[in-house]
Amino acid sequence: MLHRLLNYFRYDLAVDLGTANTLIGLAGEGLVLNEPSVVAVEQGTRRILSGGCAVGHLAKQMQGRTPESISVVRPLARGVITDYELCESMLRYFLRKAKPPGLRRKPRVLVAVPGCITPVERRAVFNSFQRAGARQVWLIGEATAAAIGVGMPIAEPVASMVVDVGGGTTETAVLSLADVVAGESIRTGGDEMDRAVVDYLKRHYSLRVGLPAAERLRIELGSAYPLDEEQVTQISGIDTVSGLPRQATVTSEEIRQALGDPLEAIIEAIKATLDGCSPDLAADLVSNGLVLCGGGSLLRRMDRFITEQTGLPARVAAEPLTAVVAGMSICLEHLDRWRPTLQSSDDEP
Ligand SMILES: Nc1ncnc2c1ncn2[C@@H]1O[C@H](COP(=O)(O)OP(=O)(O)OP(=O)(O)O)[C@@H](O)[C@H]1O
Ligand SMILES: [Mg+2]
């Protein structure tokens, strides 16, 4: 009872503002919002449709099916804010939706950011959240939050490795004694894989498909390593020569081939991270392995592929899509302990 009362007075939120999805955890309560990071606007005026409610799930449903006067916009790309105005509107909507009823105060917000974020991009995160209604903003590295969220013993003097393959970025990190000892942050993730599928279909089948269709195909048929039973499916698109709609038959082997470059980039990031580790830490990883999370880790046989390429045992987290927000919620529960490691909006000039 007292705990609930204290939490009521605290009003702290954990926000995983992802390129593909935004998740919000309310300290003391758990996950209160999980929506696509998407906004549908009227072209020209850039007014949000449906009286300001075409955000998240509603906007995602419209993607690829709108008349010319409407655009469905993702305010983030490759892990960072690219459309400040719409990101702020989206955040204001999400924060309002996550607000417990009856509360009038502004929340303090912990936000997860990629390791490759520049000072300018970081400033944009602070500003967007403050303008969207946050009282104070702290930042935490996505990989650290993910490692905490998947339950790794990061405070111990032993190496823990996490690989978060998101929509826009892949974060790799080795942690020991609650600190990142080596890590990489690359702007490759599910979106890059979708672009690779679009390119493949254009090159090999003269077929033009949209990114949402490529994503569906990748989720249905994609894999990182040979499957026990390879699969075949039909994909519809526009013939690049005739301009007419038609179908093509594609196999899971072809999609795997299409994903070659982005998968290679992820392996390179893991290898570079291992390169930055001392022999003792590397030895820990050989026995403990690494944990995969983020939606991109749901690509079939990703764990096996990583093990083949790096020699490290790899496993996918039990809840890969919520690992980051779960880790941030744990930080908020133990804020006194974590606060010195967080970047705060109060520290900005
Ligand atoms: N079953 C699945 N198989 C393959 N990929 C999937 C699956 N489910 C989701 N994804 C992919 O996961 C990605 C989204 O993952 P996630 O929500 O972790 O990203 P994000 O946190 O929004 O992005 P980032 O952290 O890079 O900013 C999308 O590219 C989506 O296509
Ligand atoms: Mg993410």
Could you state, in order of their start, the residue ranges of all structural domains in the chain?
A: 2-144+323-347, 156-188+263-316, 190-260
Question: Would the CB of 332 count as within 6 Å of ligand 1?
Answer: no
How much is the pLDDT for 5? 64
If you average pLDDT over every residue of the chain, what do you get? 95
Give the CATH number of domain 156-188+263-316: 3.30.420.40
Residue 188 Cα, ligand 2 centroid: separation in angstroms?
Answer: 12
pLDDT in tens, 166-189: 999 999 999 999 999 999 999 999
How much is the pLDDT for 349? 67
Q: How confident is the model at residue 280 (pLDDT cuts 50, 70, 90)?
A: very high
Question: Would the CB of 170 count as within 6 Å of ligand 1?
Answer: no
Given a cut of 70, whether residue 7 has pLDDT beyond it is: no
Q: Region 154-169: what's the mean pLDDT?
A: 96
Q: If you classify domain 190-260 with CATH, what class do you get?
A: alpha beta
How much is the pLDDT for 100? 92
Given a cut of 90, whether residue 347 has pLDDT beyond it is: no
Given a cut of 80, whether residue 64 has pLDDT beyond it is: no
How much is the pLDDT for 328? 97
Mutation test of ligand 1: which of 17, 21, 38, 193 has the most ligand atoms closer than 8 Å to its C-beta? 21
Tell which wins on pLDDT, 336 or 3. Answer: 336
pLDDT in tens, 107-120: 999 999 998 899 99
Given a cut of 80, whether residue 20 has pLDDT beyond it is: yes
Residue 297 Cα, ligand 1 centroid: separation in angstroms?
Answer: 8
Q: How confident is the model at residue 3 (pLDDT cuts 50, 70, 90)?
A: low
Distance CA 100, CA 64 (A): 33
Name every residue whose Cβ is closer than 8 Å to that of residue 17 and which is 6 or more positions away in sequence: 37, 76, 91, 111, 112, 125
Given a cut of 70, whether residue 126 has pLDDT beyond it is: yes
The 3-class SS string of the chain reads: CHHHHHHHHHCEEEEEECCCEEEEEECCCEEEEEEECCEEEECCCCCEHHHHCCECHHHHHHCCCCCCCEEEECCEECCEECCHHHHHHHHHHHHHHHCCCCCCCCCEEEEEECCCCCHHHHHHHHHHHHHCCCCEEEEEEHHHHHHHHCCCCCCCCCCEEEEEECCCCEEEEEEECCEEEEEEEECCCHHHHHHHHHHHHHHHHCEECCHHHHHHHHHHHCECCCCCCCCEEEEEEEECCCCCEEEEEEEHHHHHHHCHHHHHHHHHHHHHHHHCCCHHHHHHHHHHCEEEECHHHHCECHHHHHHHHHCCCEEECCCCCCHHHHHHHHHHHCHHHHHHHCEEHHHCC
Q: Do domains 2-144+323-347 and 190-260 have the same CATH topology?
A: no
Mutation test of ligand 1: which of 299, 303, 325 has the most ligand atoms closer than 8 Å to its C-beta? 299
pLDDT in tens, 39-55: 999 999 999 999 999 99
Distance CA 173, CA 112 (A): 14
Given a cut of 70, whether residue 330 has pLDDT beyond it is: yes
Q: If you classify domain 2-144+323-347 with CATH, what class do you get?
A: alpha beta
Given a cut of 80, whether residue 326 has pLDDT beyond it is: yes
Q: What is the pTM of this model?
A: 0.95
Share of the chain above pLDDT 90, in %: 89
